[in-house]
């Protein structure tokens, strides 16, 4: 998970600072340092950024699911009211759906 976070961070910096978009160069007076870095262009770094993000999201989901008992005990301890806890779980589920929906839209 640490490697995926590092890849997302490093590729994001490369995309934003080292190899900016043509629009940023043309209209925002950004000076590009290079058009390629380590033999990879902007779209290649974008693909690395995208797939490292997907891997990071999957690993984060696996990490949370593997510790679900600990998360559940923590929520139960911090929120003893059953109705409030159910509302909290519903809110979490809604946030999860909102996060996943753009990915489902891109698949079709």
Looking at the fold, whether 41 and 60 belong to one and the same domain comes out as yes
Looking at the fold, whether 72 and 38 belong to one and the same domain comes out as no
Paired strand residues for 37:
40
Task: Concatenate the DSSP letters of all residues of 9-66 into one string.
Answer: HHHHHIIIIIS--HHHHHHS-PPPS-S-BTTB-HHHHHHHHHHHHHHHHHHHHHHHHH
Looking at the fold, whether 53 and 78 belong to one and the same domain comes out as no
5-49: pLDDT as tens digits? 999 999 988 888 777 777 666 666 666 666 777 888 788 888 899
Looking at the fold, whether 104 and 53 belong to one and the same domain comes out as no
pLDDT on residue 54: 87
Looking at the fold, whether 79 and 101 belong to one and the same domain comes out as yes
pLDDT on residue 45: 87
Looking at the fold, whether 43 and 19 belong to one and the same domain comes out as yes
Q: Are 37 and 14 in contact (CB under 8 A)?
A: yes
> What value does the mean pLDDT take over residues 94-106?
80
Looking at the fold, whether 56 and 79 belong to one and the same domain comes out as no
The percent of residues above 70 in pLDDT, for the chain, comes to 85
The burial of 57, by beta-carbon neighbours within 10 Å (0-12 exposed, 13-18 middle, 19 or more buried), is given as middle
Looking at the fold, whether 50 and 75 belong to one and the same domain comes out as no
Q: Name the residue range of residue 98's domain.
A: 67-108
What is the total count of domains within the chain?
A: 2
Nearest to 9 by CA among 17, 35, 36: 17
Q: Are 41 and 18 in contact (CB under 8 A)?
A: no
Looking at the fold, whether 1 and 21 belong to one and the same domain comes out as yes
Q: Where does the pLDDT of residue 89 fall: very low under 50, low under 70, confident under 90, or very high at 90 and above?
A: confident
Q: Where does the pLDDT of residue 63 fall: very low under 50, low under 70, confident under 90, or very high at 90 and above?
A: very high
Looking at the fold, whether 62 and 74 belong to one and the same domain comes out as no
pTM, full prediction? 0.66
The residue among 65 and 37 whose pLDDT is bigger is 65
Pick left, alpha or beta for residue 32 (phi over 0 → left; psi -120 to 50 → alpha; otherwise beta).
beta
């Amino acid at each position: 998970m640490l490697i995926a976070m590092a890849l997302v961070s490093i590729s994001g910096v490369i995309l934003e600072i080292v190899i900016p978009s043509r629009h940023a160069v043309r209209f925002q007076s950004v000076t590009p340092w290079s058009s390629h870095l380590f033999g990879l262009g902007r779209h290649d770094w974008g693909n690395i950024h995208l797939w490292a993000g997907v891997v990071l999201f999957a690993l984060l989901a696996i990490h949370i699911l593997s510790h679900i008992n600990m998360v559940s005990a923590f929520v139960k301890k911090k929120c003893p009211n059953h109705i409030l806890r159910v509302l909290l779980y519903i809110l979490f589920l809604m946030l999860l759906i909102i996060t996943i929906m753009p990915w489902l839209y891109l698949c079709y």
